[in-house]
Every structure is written in C-alpha cells, then in structure tokens.
Amino acid sequence: MVDKEELFKKMQEAIYNYDKDLAVKLAKEAIEAGIDPLEAIEKGFAVAIRELGEKFDRMEIFLPELIMGADAMKAAVDILKEEIVRRGQKVEKKGVVVIGTVEGDIHDIGKTIVIAMLQSAGFDVYDLGKDVPIPRFLQAAEEVNADIIAASALLTTTMMKQRDLIEYLKSQGKRDKYFVIVGGAPCSQKWADEIGADGYARDAIEAVKLCERLMEQKKKKGA
Amino acid sequence: MVNFIEVARRAETGPMIAEEDFDMKKIAMKLRELRKELDIKFDPNEPVNTDLTLADDLWDLGLRFFLETGIYCVNTRRLMLFEENEVKHALKNVRDRLEIGEGKDRRVLYPRGIEDSTPPIIFGGPFNCDVTEEVFVPMNEAYAREEIIDVLFLPGYLKKMYGLEIRPTSGLSPQTVILYAKWTREALSRAGRPGMPVVAHALMGMHEIGVSNEEWGLRKTDPRAIVMLPELKIDDVSLVRLGYYIATGPPIYIAFTPLVGGFAGDPVTVAIVSVAEHIAAVMLNGDIIHLGPQHIKYKSQTNIHSLWVASRVKQAVSKNSKMIHTTSHTTAGRPGSKQFAYEFAALEIAVVTAGSHVSGPRPADLKYDNHNSPLMARLFGEIAHAAAKIKLETANEIVLELYKKYKDKLDFQVSPVGKPFEELYDLDTLQPKPEHLKEYEEVKRELEELGLEL
C-alpha cells in the first residue's frame, strides 16, 4: 500500500532536486497506486514549484534551477494529465498564453522566467521565441485557441512593436478575442494604457498575477 | 590576435547548437561544475575583495571556461571557438596603449592595476538615456563642458523624430543617425572641446556605419560601442558593425552585461563568466572592454551582488592581463536624488581600486526622457579620481557605509524618481540649478566624511 502523503513528499523532493526522471517515475507510481492525479499535482508537484518560484524571487535559487524545476514539473504533469483524461476527469484549465519577444528584439531572458513561472502556475504556455513577426502572434493564438497574447520588448527601439501588435489585431478584427499583455524593461503601465493593452507586468510574479486576474475576468464575463 | 575575417568565418562554420542548450549546458551546467574548484562564497560584508590570490584563481577558471564555451552567434546558432594558443596570443598582443580623440582633447588610455593611483579615464555622458530632439545638443554640450570627463559616453538615444518613434529599420533611421552624429559634433564644438572623443552607439542597427565621417560625423578616433548579449552571445548586427569598424579603423568598445540570477547563476559563477566575457571581447578585437555587472532581480548594477562580482572580476582582469577595461554604472536611484550618487560612488570605489576605468552613470529605470545630469557625471569623475588614492580595505569600508544608505531602496518602485535634465539645469546658461548644486555639495561633504579626498 503506497503512503500517499509520503509519495507527495517525494514528488516535492524531486522538484526541489530538479530531478525530471524521478518526477516522471513518481507520477507513474501515483497512477499505478490509483491516486487521484489532480490531487497528486496539487499536493505533490505544485507545492514544490510554488516554493521554487518564491525562492527565485528571494534569489536563493537562480534561473537555471527555476527552469529545471519547471521542466521536471511539466514532464510529470504531462503524465498525470493523460490519466486525468483517461479517467474522464475535468482539468480546469488555468489559461492558454502565447508569448514572444517582438520583431527586431533578440532579448529573451525575462521572457524565459515569465514562461517558467506561468507554467508553474498551471498555464499552458506557447513560446514563439524572439524576433517574432507581428502576424505570427495572431496565427499562433488562433492555432492554440489562446486566451492571452504576451509580447515582450527589451529595447526602446522595439517597444513600438507592442503597439503595432494591438493595431494589427484590430485590423484583423481580433482585438477583442484575446487579452494582450506587455512587459520588458522600457515598458510601464502608462505605456500599456497608451497603446490599449490589457495589462503590464514588471516581473514574472506580477505576470502570473496579471494572467490570473485576466482569466478571472474572462470567467466572470462568460458566466 | 585572430584576424576578424577568421572570427566572422567561425560564426558561419562553427559547431551548431540550439540556444537553449547553449544557455543550460554550456553556460549554466558548466559553470556549476567549475565553481567547485573555487573556494569562495559570496560575502555581503566584503563587497571589495582584499584577498588577491582569488584574482588569479578566478582568471584561470574564466579562461578555461571561455576555451570550452566560446562565443555563441544567436543568428547562425553556431559556436565561435578559439584555441588556447590563439587566446594567449591575443591576450599577449592586446593594445595596452590607445589614443582616442583629437588635438588637445586627445586622451591616451592605459591599463590600470589594482590599487593603482593613476586616475582612471572618465567616460561620462547621457549613457544612451532617451534624449529628446530639442535637448540633445544642450545636454551633450553640458557634459562636454565638464572638464573632468575625458570621453563623451553614448550621447543619447533619439527616440522620437518628426513626431514619430524611430525604428532602426525605418526609412527615418538614416536621417536620425546622421543628426545624432552631427549634433554630437556640434555639442563638442559649442563646449569648446571639438576633439573630445565620443563613444558612440545610436541604436540604429547597421545604419550607424553610414555616419563615419571626419568632417561632420563619427571620426576614426571615436570608439564605436558594440554590445554582446548575456552570456557570451553576439548577434549578426553587432558582427556586421564590428566587421565594418575593424575594416575602417576606429577603436572598438565592447560591452557586455553578465546577469546575476540569470543563466550564469549566483555571484560566484557570474564572476567566472564575467572574466570569460572580457576574454571574449578581446577575441572580437575589442580595444576597450566594458563590464556592466547586471542583476536579474534588481535590474541595476549597484546591488551587493553586483558590487561583489565587479570588484573581483576587475581585480582578476587587471592582475592577469593588460586589457584597457572599464565598468558601467546603472543605478536604482535617479538623478536629482542623493541616492543616485551614493550608488554610483559605491560601485566606482569597488572597481577603480580594482584597476578599472569608469563609464556612466545612468539610472537603470528611466522615468523620463533626458533623465541624466552632467553635474552628477562631474561628481562621478571626482569620486573616481579620489578612489584611485585609496586601498582595498578602506574601499571596502566606504562601500559598506554607502550601501547602507540605499540598500532598502533598490526596488524601482521605491527608489527616488528624480528629475530630468531640463528640471535640474537652467537651459539658458547650461548651469545646474541651485538646488541641484546644493545636493552635489552635500553628497561631496558626506563622501569626504567617509574618507574620500575629493
């Protein structure tokens, strides 16, 4: 008989140790033991990844550790998600985010952190990379049925592309279909307001809060 | 020195690797492995290093790391790798005397050593803050009027022209960069320092190469700034500019910003990668090598991690090479606040005593256009000269005292907002306004009380 609490603890340890193979093994063990996969995610892996996020914020761990932890979590959760589907359980989707660094800009470290934090918070994130042409944001959002388009710009010379993205969405009649959020060193709430974005986040933690707030808003609208 | 044609060839033919793998395997994992060989820990009570054996150990590890990692070209996804004999040859032959500027404004740059009493060269200027069309000339003139500034540093980014924001690939960018060059020369001329050297980078992509012009533009004696990406990366536009400048002769100023908390990890591993980045800049034919000790959380360069890294890295480079190198200064506090001065003072005391020249200062998070102050650059220069007279132990004590003054206000949300140039200066006389001057005098007195001879 598998001790559930013990297994959850091991799952947390696997994430704290950035051990992807062990995380996957433990996810499989949970399924074999008949443990509710949703509970395994919430009480096992998610506890640890939240803690890693907080440690990163306190600079007790750094970007490679955050990425490794998020990778291990994603690999384990993918296995558990298959079981959720098999059981006919409903996974409550947190939201789907398409993210990229705008055209002409090749900086993406900040975006990488945002992706790791959003994934850890349960969002499905599609990374378009850097130097992303404006139409590609819309194309990807349509393909994956996104809720949020996130555009990053690190340079004063490229931030105007965030405004172009919003204008492009309008020109295609798609502006109201997606939330658009912006981030990056030269951006500000003032800039987001000026270009008509739905939000601005100054760092990855704020970005998660912003996406959660927007999804809440969407749910209320839909209700 | 490896010929630049060969360097560029390697960017086209070197081993291919995905960027994620470069970041995680070549940078993050390799650094974690190497750090086991270095018996040091980050100590917040010793921002300035006083144990010089570390300088050699750090240099050796940085060199080994560079030999294994090379430089990554983000566009071709290839590694530009270098053999040990090539690197050693380049380091042996790096330029250790460099003349920049013209006439009586000409400056001769030399490498400095640890606790070297030779005054550092002061690279001071708008440091590419966003500068408006109408303020560009007066602001740069006010900087050039400051005698203590040796080199006008990055005259400012002309964000808007003709009422539009300018993209580097827009049809408006050639004219923008032409005006950038012409107005810079006009500012020097108005200040009575026509031959003053300028470190230039108009952020207009490849168009910048079109303003090399002895009569009205950037001259052969003006260093051109090239910026690498963290960590150990370069892009095509920078390689193109580099290729052009190497073919036509101006000195090359190469900057990089290792990121504490990023792929390079903690302060110890960031120190290793920072040494490697100095070496990389030499391999790219850099003449003046610029470190910007950046931080992923604070997004500025005067936090305790950055101070710790900068002191050690600069000591390692000064002790083991004859590079002419400098350090940039970006702060959380902004001009028009005392915190701005406390922060740049702390960093420059840490690096000047380690053998660095100094570049800056500038607020990291610009709240306004024209968000910088020539008077603060004067103070920046004065502090750098004073720092050249002190020993490492004293430097550590002063840096710790200064750090206490601003450590709780490093978050941009709470750091002082400050004021733009046009509020700090009288635009008719180009003199600082009385309250700004008062602030300068007060900070100077505080620094003297801490032990600096200003």
Question: Strand ranges (DSSP E) for chain A?
Answer: 96-101, 124-127, 148-152, 179-183, 199-200
Give chain B positions within 8 Å (CB) of A185. Answer: 299, 365
Subunit contact B263:A104, Cβ cutoff 8 A: no
Instruction: Tell whether B39 is covered by a domain.
Output: no
Distance from CA of A168 to the nearest CA of B (A): 17
A185 and B28 within 8 Å at the Cβ level: the answer is no
Residues of A within 8 A of B165 (CB-CB) are 160
Work out how many domains chain B is built from and give that number.
Answer: 1
**A-B contacts at Cβ under 8 angstroms:** 58
Is the CB of B28 less than 8 angstroms away from the CB of A160?
no
Interface touch B263/A202, C-beta < 8 Å: no
How far apart are alpha carbons B425 and B375 in whole angstroms?
9
Q: Which residues contact B380 (CB under 8 A, 6 or more apart)?
A: B122, B124, B329, B344, B348, B358, B360, B361
Cβ atoms of B109 and B286 within 8 Å: the answer is no
Distance CA B206, CA A140 (A): 30
Question: Which string of b and e fits A56-89 if b means at least 16 CB within 10 Å?
Answer: beebebbbbbbbbbbbbbbebbebbbebbeeeee
Task: Give the amino acid at B176.
Answer: T
> What is the edge-to-edge ordering of all strands in the sheet holding A199-200?
A124-127, A96-101, A148-152, A179-183, A199-200
> Measured between CB atoms, which of B29, B167, B266 is closest to A157?
B167
Give A-chain residues touching B365 at CB under 8 angstroms.
185
Amino acid type, B368 = Y
What is the per-residue pLDDT for A223? 56
Residue B93 counted as domain residue = no
CA A58 – CA B220 distance, rounded (Å): 47
Question: Of B74, B260, B263, which is closest to A64 when you measure between CB atoms?
Answer: B263
User: Which residues from B are below 8 Å from A186, CB to CB?
Assistant: 366
* Distance between CA atoms of residues B377 and B375, nearest Å: 5
User: Which of B131, B296, B299 is most worth mutating to test chain A (most A CB atoms within 10 A of its CB)?
Assistant: B296
Query: Does B9 contact A at CB distance below 8 Å?
Result: no
Whose CA is closest to B278, among B4, B104, B55, B25? B55
A167 contacts: CB under 8 Å, gap ≥ 6 = none
Q: Are A51 and A105 in contact (CB under 8 A)?
A: no
Distance of CA A17 to the CA centre of its chain: 21
| Alpha-carbon distances, residue A168 vs A40, A143, A196, B293 (angstroms) | 42, 17, 12, 38
B419–A contact, CB cutoff 8 A: no
CA distances from A108 to A97, A120, B230, B333 (A): 16, 18, 10, 25
Give the one of A62, A106, A186 whose C-beta lies nearest to B265's C-beta.
Answer: A62
Q: How far is CA B9 from CA B12, B89, B96, B184, B432, in A?
A: 5, 19, 27, 35, 50
Chain B, nearest residue to A107 by Cα: B229
> Would you call A64 and B28 a contact, using CB atoms and an 8 Å cutoff?
yes
Minimal C-alpha gap between A144 and chain B (Å):
23
Cβ <8 Å between B167 and A64 = no
Give the integer Cα–Cα distance in Å for A204 and A19: 23
Residues 6+ apart with CB under 8 A from B241: B206, B208, B209, B224, B226
CB contacts, 8 Å: B412 with chain A: 202
Please tell me the predicted confidence (pLDDT) of residue B373: 98
Which residue out of B22, B23, B234, B305 would a mutagenesis test of the A interface target, given it has the greatest number of A Cβ atoms within 10 Å?
B23
Q: Report yes or no: A39 and A11 within 8 Å, Cβ to Cβ.
A: no
Q: Nearest chain B Cα to A59, which residue?
A: B261
- CA dihedral sign of residues A48, B231, B22, B86: negative
CATH of the domain at B232: 3.20.20.460
Q: Has residue B57 been placed in a domain?
A: no
Contact across the interface for B29 and A64, Cβ inside 8 Å: yes
Please identify which residue in the block is written with the tokens 């298959």. Answer: A82
pTM for this one? 0.94
Among B167, B229, B413, the residue with its CB nearest the CB of A106 is B229
E strand residue ranges, B2-111: 71-73, 78-80, 98-100, 107-109
Check: CB of residue B98 under 8 Å from CB of residue B197.
Answer: no
Mind listing the domains of chain A with CATH numbers?
Answer: 4-86 (1.10.1240.10), 96-222 (3.40.50.280)
Which tokens hold the place of B217? 């533009």
**Dihedral (C-alpha) A113, A104, A188, A183: value to the nearest 10 degrees?**
-20
For the residues of B14-33, what is the DSSP string, one character each? Answer: SPB--HHHIIIIIIIIHHHH
Q: What is the DSSP letter of A76?
A: H
Residues of chain B with pLDDT below 50 are none
Interface of B with A in 129-188 (CB under 8 A): 130, 157, 159, 165-169
Q: Is residue B128 part of a domain?
A: no
With beta carbons under 8 A apart, name residues in chain A contacting B163: none
Tens of pLDDT, residue by residue over A85-132, are 888 887 778 999 999 999 988 888 889 899 988 988 889 999 999 999
Residue B1 lies in a domain: no
Whether B64 is in a domain gets the answer no
Q: How far is B123 from B386, CA to CA, in rounded Å?
A: 16
Nearest to B437 by CA among B336, B352, B362, B368: B336
Query: Burial code of B368-395, b = ≥16 C-beta within 10 A, e = fewer?
Result: bbbbbbbbbbbbbbbbbbbbbebebebb
Put simply, the answer to whether B32 touches A64 (Cβ < 8 Å) is: yes
Q: Is B74 on the interface with A (CB under 8 A)?
A: yes
Domain contains B36: no
Is B446 contained in some domain?
A: yes
Q: Per CB distance under 8 Å, which residues of A are interface residues toward B?
A: 56-57, 59, 62-64, 67-68, 104, 106-107, 109, 113, 155-158, 160, 185-186, 202
The two structure tokens encoding residue A67: 């990425």
A126, burial (CB in 10 Å: exposed 0-12, middle 13-18, buried 19+)? middle
B299 touches chain A (CB under 8 A): yes
Six-digit token string for A187:
């951006």
Contact A63 B305 (CB under 8 A): no
Q: How far is CA B361 from CA A213, B211, B373, B416, B420, in A?
A: 38, 26, 9, 15, 14
Q: Which residue ranges of chain A lie beneath pLDDT 50?
A: none
SS3 content of chain A, % helix, strand, coil (to 5): 60, 10, 30
Under an 8 A CB cutoff, do B74 and A106 touch? yes
Query: Exposed, middle or buried: residue B19 (CB in 10 Å: 0-12, 13-18, 19+)?
Result: middle
Please indicate whether, in this complex, the C-beta atoms of A63 and B266 are within 8 angstroms of each other.
no
- Residue B292 token pair: 């910007």
Instruction: Give me the pLDDT at residue B80, please.
Output: 98
Gap between the Cα atoms of A205 and A183, Å rounded: 12
Count of helices and strands (H, E) across chain A? 10, 5
Sorted by sequence, the CB contacts under 8 Å of residue B349 that are 6+ apart come out as: B48, B383, B387, B390, B395, B398, B399, B402, B452
Helices vs strands, H then E, count in chain B: 15, 21
Domain extent for B274? 98-116+221-450
